[in-house]
Chain A
């Protein structure tokens, strides 16, 4: 698997499983993208940014199964940022109850959705369907409110491990 494949897998997953908080949002209108958003982008938004990675031998002789193939594990770290603009306030139904969320509360709600879904689908989606060996949450951090851009931001740092075969 190539790194560009993993980028696509993560973005496609989030687009599929994270619901936009606006119940009137057009589902064909994407709000989750690779790389940090421009300040004039529409919000709320989720961005996926590859920040670092490394390579680890998958076995002696880099031999993996099937035994004729060679490869290495790549643990690749991504920042998944949740961006909410001042004024993004939506009525969200949680457990049958409608709750108004905006600002940092909406940001934290969306962050929880990302964490919950990545962990819930770690086996069935990432490993079984997409051959992503592991997904771990390394850190989470909230940025101070950006007065100029009127943005609330939270960064979730995940490491996704893939097996990259040498022929790729």
Chain B
């Protein structure tokens, strides 16, 4: 029987080729910056013009070390890194995010839950493959 969907336990997330542990959620958003052009006398756009590509996303993981916080606390240039999201070990979709930087980070310290850290990132370019 073929399974057509993947669940969280199937997925793998890598930062600079190293698996990220204790990650509880992650997301990627790709915006194409489409700009519609409307002519007088029409309620539908005549053209959809491609705009700036924006690649953003977020990662949330248990707060167990300071490796990620160190990437946002500096006041100089931020460190770049590559991220890879993979749906399964083989025969599944991959997405590569190149030259990422964290644009914000936050800590969540609940009274009765797991301490987590979450980060919003922005990438310069993106690639996908089935592999």
Which residues of A are interface residues toward B (Cβ below 8 A)? 57-69
Contacts of B48 in A (CB 8 A): none
Closest chain-B Cβ to A68's Cβ sits at a distance in Å of 7
**CB pairs A–B below 8 angstroms (26 shown):** A57-B8, A57-B9, A58-B22, A59-B21, A59-B24, A60-B8, A60-B9, A60-B12, A60-B26, A61-B9, A61-B10, A61-B11, A61-B12, A63-B12, A63-B20, A63-B22, A63-B23, A64-B21, A64-B22, A65-B21, A65-B65, A66-B21, A67-B18, A67-B19, A67-B20, A69-B21
* B61 & A59 in contact (Cβ 8 Å cutoff): yes
**Docked complex Cα distance between A30 and B76 (Å):** 62
Cβ of B83 within 8 Å of any chain A Cβ, yes or no, is no
Closest chain-B Cβ to A12's Cβ sits at a distance in Å of 27
Contacts of B19 in A (CB 8 A): 61, 63, 67-68
Cβ of B2 within 8 Å of any chain A Cβ, yes or no, is no
Contacts of B22 in A (CB 8 A): 58-59, 63-65
Chain B, Cβ-Cβ closest to A65: B21
**Docked complex Cα distance between A59 and B13 (Å):** 10
Closest chain-B Cβ to A46's Cβ sits at a distance in Å of 27
Q: A64-B22, A65-B21 are in contact. List 5 more A-B contacts (CB 8 A).
A: A60-B9, A63-B12, A67-B19, A67-B21, A68-B19
